[in-house]
Amino acid sequence: MADQGANNGAGQAAGKSFVTFSRGAAQRIAKAVRTVEGGDRNQPGLTFDHPQFGGVKMFRICTFTGSWSIGSTKTVTYKYASSTPNTAVATNLFFPVTSTATLDCAIAKDGTAWFLVDVPFYTASAVFITAVSVGATLNTNTCAITVATTSSTATSTFLRIGVP
């Protein structure tokens, strides 16, 4: 501390004796005190510890039932919760969920509000006809027309939300 302007002997705690501050150190301390005293009294006090969240959950795995449109809220039930309250109201900002089944989801807390951050994605496949050719031949001896078709298909896989 001697390099910061306080001196009570090398490595000695203040104990019952006085600590001597340099003029510069005293001015820095006075400025800090004036800043704190002039601040918002409703703000928490200064701390020099690491922030502690006190076991507050900021992320939860939950379940919900039914469709959940963007911009709406829904009551979700915490998975793996052994005591009540075991529900929260969360807002869906991103995913239009159309399933009517019970689904898992992940929610996260921002301030005091919970928000939907993820739902299960499922894959679905669709088959598309990419080319069709039609041919016809006329048999003039029998007056018969033969029509033949050939087609090509392609399969695409995509993600869908909340519809098992």
Q: Is 24 helix (H, G, I), strand (E, B) or coil?
A: helix
- Residue-level pLDDT at 1: 47
Classified as helix, coil or strand, 65 is strand
Query: DSSP secondary structure string, 27-44?
Result: HHHHHHHHHHHTS-TTSP
How far is it, in rounded angstroms, from Cα 94 to Cα 70? 6
- Contacting residues for 104 by C-beta, under 8 A, at least 6 apart: 61, 62, 63, 79, 119, 120
Plot region of 91 (φ>0 → left; ψ -120 to 50 → alpha; else → beta): beta
Position 15 scores a pLDDT of 62
| Residue from 112, 76, 68 nearest 93 by CA | 68
DSSP 8-class letter at 46: P
Q: Which helix (H) or strand (E) holds 26?
A: helix 23-37
Percent of the chain's residues with pLDDT above 70: 78
Does pLDDT of 11 surpass 70?
A: no
State the amino acid at position 93 in one-letter form: L
Which candidate, 80, 78, 104, 101, places its Cα nearest to that of 89? 78
Strand partners, 132: 151
pLDDT(42) > 80: no
pLDDT digits (tens, 9 = 90+) for 15-28: 677 778 889 888 88
Residue 154 CA: distances (Å) to CA of 27, 29, 159, 160: 78, 75, 17, 19
Q: What's the whole-number average pLDDT of the chain?
A: 80
Summarised one tens digit per residue, pLDDT across range 94-148 is: 888 888 888 899 999 988 899 999 888 777 778 887 778 888 888 888 888 888 8
Burial class (CB in 10 A: 0-12, 13-18, 19+), 139: exposed
Higher pLDDT, 44 or 92: 92
Confidence band for 92, pLDDT divided at 50, 70 and 90: very high
- pLDDT score, position 74: 96
Q: Which of 32-41, 68-77, 81-90 has the lowest mean pLDDT?
A: 32-41
